[in-house]
Amino acid sequence: MGLDIRTPIGLMFGTFGLLLAGYGLATGGSDIYQRSLGHNINLTWGLVLLAFGAVMLWLARRGARKP
Amino acid sequence: MPQGIELGGIDYVILVIYFLFVLGIGWALRRQTKTSEDFFLSGRSIPAWIAGLAFLSANLGAQEMIGMAASGAKYGIATSHFYWVGAIPAMVFVGVFMMPFYYGSRARSVPEYLKLRFDEKTRGFNAISFAIMTVFSSGISMYALAKLLNLLLGWDFNASLWVSAAIVLAYIYLGGLTSAIYNEVLQFFLIVLGFAPLVFLGLENVGGWSGLVAKLEPAATAGGYAPGAFSHSWATMGTPAANPMGVEWFGMVMGLGFVLSFGYWCTDFLVVQRAMAANSMAAARRTPLIAAVPKMLFPFLIIVPGMIAIALTHAAGSGFALPKMADGSWDYTMVIPQMLAHYFPPGVLGLGLTALMASFMSGMAGNVTAFNTVWTYDIYQSYIKKDATDAQLLWVGRMATVFGILASVGTAYLATQFNNIMDFLQLVFAFVNAPLFATFLLGMFWKRATGHGAFLGLVLGTLAAAVHHGLTLPAGAPVGIKGGWLAAPPMHAYSSEMAQNFWTAIWAFCVCFAATVAISLVTRRTKTDEDLRGLVYALTPRPKEEHLPWWKTPEGMGALVMVMAIALNIIFW
């Protein structure tokens, strides 16, 4: 197959992760986190998405190296 | 009125990035789509794990997300019967026992299997009813999406409808089934990762699982049930009156767990197409088994938010309440949107809404790819132009995609005008679907079943469903679309609409089964044993997978999946 689906999945979630984590850092301590019970859910979940994206990209690279 | 949602700039950025990725996947795949087999069957090249996640995602349409969360609020953990009884056993069965015939026969669609196994008229009946049904269900799902976006975000109904339709059209037109399948995998992860924080925050708010169970007691007693009715899946299934679903265990296990669930997972081309696109027999058989593992965990992602929503609604001072409908009952369909608005700040809110959009799109794309294949192979190539070249088939497939999307948009507009027509059509489709599994079961495991038997069995089974519906009525429902239109007073009153549905399916299945057997015995076989090789169990060599430890074989995996499902049933008994 020409396209390894793990690459776009990794890129998309990596981008989402960076966006959310960055936004979370910028809005730390803001009132908007009253909704999420005081957690900076953007920062936490952004890091989770970033890690997921990185794992997908790593799997895609590993897959490409194998014949 | 439900509370509206204010989206911030970050939320729109996330939504737009998602749109760019789905379109980009279609664009990247356009050059690989050269033949009709590429377009309709992904050139039979999809690895098992991708086919498995797509198998699940295609089924995970809007009705599933919104509907199962609503049921979680309405019925509690008993909604898990739709997964642990009403899906997993059928998914194991189709992988272990039926896939060898679907994949091994090289049929390109489920109706085509019926043509190979039985005859032209059985295929025609199935192909035409399936084609109409898929267009209508994708239209109804688009209508639901556009209405929701309009209600929550104040987006224009027409714009929401046309933009989502255009995106799905673009990525299927370019990359065919491969594009739909790849996007379904992306959508699967988005749905899981977009809704998971909702479950975490909601559970923390109600005080964990034990807090949820305690807070569900007032919800159960308010409805007149035992305090544990919302947190036990089987304990209250003894009589219909004891549980909010209004069904008893036998009707549930036979109607939902056997007839409806096997009829859907084992015969609906929407899901089976994903397994047919797999790159080998081994991968095709593993497709539904791989899908079964996340499927059995989905109740925690979809049903639990509904349970949290109803628990908070009944807990004083929680600050959360479901909106009410005009007649004063809770608007359960608002569970997911209300929970998103309640717990998610801008940022994750965009992710959650994008996940909701993804679930609508994956369901719509599933319908459209199944429709264009059945239309092209089973209607166009079979009845309109028998000697079509492959290039013509590919072109017809692309046109059918455009037509299917336009027809769905038309259906969505029809739904805004005539809600009753939609209910009526869905009822008719339910009648047509109910007996199907009997035909496949006999076709695959009894070589004596004939084409006349199968066709008449299907017709009589469909009629039996209609007659049963006409003779019975759920308690408190008006005569008409809900039943009772054949006899006044109705011969039997069911305690709920769900109980009536389950028993309609049971009757349709039994009549179809008996009629197919009886008519097959008095009609002549038109297919020889040689014709049926690869199509019927007794005449097909067993697929051998050697040098594998037992738990890597389809049988071993299926057994493990069943043990896990049984364990979940016991834990939440």
Does the B9-417 domain belong in CATH 3.20.20.120?
no
The two tokens of residue B496 are: 């709920």
**Partner-chain contact A12 B204, CB within 8 Å:** no
Inform me whether the C-beta atom of residue A5 falls under 8 Å from chain B C-beta atoms.
yes
**Partner-chain contact A8 B197, CB within 8 Å:** no
Nearest alpha carbon to residue B168 among B183, B146, B188: B183
Q: Alpha-carbon distance B363 to B138, whole Å?
A: 7
Q: Alpha-carbon distance B20 to B396, whole Å?
A: 27
Q: Which of A15, A25, A41 to mutate to test the interface with B (most CBs of B within 10 A)?
A: A41
What is the pLDDT at residue A67? Answer: 54
**Partner-chain contact A13 B204, CB within 8 Å:** no
Q: Three-state DSSP class for B178?
A: helix
A9–chain B nearest CA distance, Å = 6
**What pTM was computed for the model?**
0.92
What is the pLDDT at residue B426? Answer: 74
B76–chain A nearest CA distance, Å = 24
The two tokens of residue B388 are: 């079509």
Low-confidence residues of chain B: pLDDT under 70: 1-3, 419, 422, 543, 545-546
B290–chain A nearest CA distance, Å = 17
Inform me whether the C-beta atom of residue A49 falls under 8 Å from chain B C-beta atoms.
yes
Calculate the alpha carbon distances from B390 to B170, B368, B460 in Å.
Answer: 22, 20, 37
**Partner-chain contact A5 B13, CB within 8 Å:** no
Inform me whether the C-beta atom of residue A25 falls under 8 Å from chain B C-beta atoms.
no
**Partner-chain contact A3 B351, CB within 8 Å:** no
What is the pLDDT at residue B545? Answer: 65
Q: Alpha-carbon distance A43 to A30, whole Å?
A: 12
Calculate the alpha carbon distances from B44 to B34, B59, B106, B116, B273 in Å.
Answer: 13, 20, 10, 20, 10
What is the pLDDT at residue B1? Answer: 43
Q: Three-state DSSP class for B278?
A: strand
Range of the domain at A46: 6-65
Q: Please write the tens of the pLDDT for every residue from A4-47.
A: 899 999 999 999 999 999 999 998 888 888 888 889 999 999 99
Q: Alpha-carbon distance B486 to B37, whole Å?
A: 47
What is the pLDDT at residue B434? Answer: 85
- Sequence-distant (6+) residues with CB within 8 A of B501 are B255, B260, B430
Taking CA–CA distances from B9, the nearest residue in chain A reads: A23
The reply to whether A51 falls in a domain is yes
Question: How many domains does chain A contain in total?
Answer: 1
The two tokens of residue B243 are: 């549980």
Nearest alpha carbon to residue B291 among B114, B18, B54: B54
Phi, psi of B278 (to 5 degrees): -65, 160
Nearest alpha carbon to residue B135 among B416, B404, B420, B418: B404
The reply to whether A1 falls in a domain is no
Residue-wise burial string across B459-472, b where 16 or more C-beta atoms lie within 10 A, e elsewhere: bbbbbbbbbbbbbb
ipTM: 0.95
Q: Residues B342, B346, B349, CA angle at the centre, nearest 5°?
A: 60
What is the pLDDT at residue B546? Answer: 66
What is the pLDDT at residue B3? Answer: 59
The reply to whether A31 falls in a domain is yes
Taking CA–CA distances from A13, the nearest residue in chain B reads: B190
Task: Give chain A positions within 8 Å (CB) of B185.
Answer: 5, 9
Q: Three-state DSSP class for B560?
A: helix
Contact B334, B151 (CB under 8 A): no
Inform me whether the C-beta atom of residue A2 falls under 8 Å from chain B C-beta atoms.
yes
The two tokens of residue B378 are: 């089973």
Select the residue of A2, A16, A42 nearest B32 (Cβ to Cβ).
A2
Instruction: Show me where the domains of chain B are located.
Output: 9-417, 427-541
Contact B376, B400 (CB under 8 A): yes
Inform me whether the C-beta atom of residue A20 falls under 8 Å from chain B C-beta atoms.
yes
Contact A27, A42 (CB under 8 A): yes
**Partner-chain contact B10 A19, CB within 8 Å:** yes
Residue-wise burial string across B63-87, b where 16 or more C-beta atoms lie within 10 A, e elsewhere: bbbbbbbbbbbbbbbbbbbbbbbbb
Nearest alpha carbon to residue B101 among B549, B446, B527: B446
- Residue given tokens 């959310």 in the structure block: A20
The reply to whether A22 falls in a domain is yes
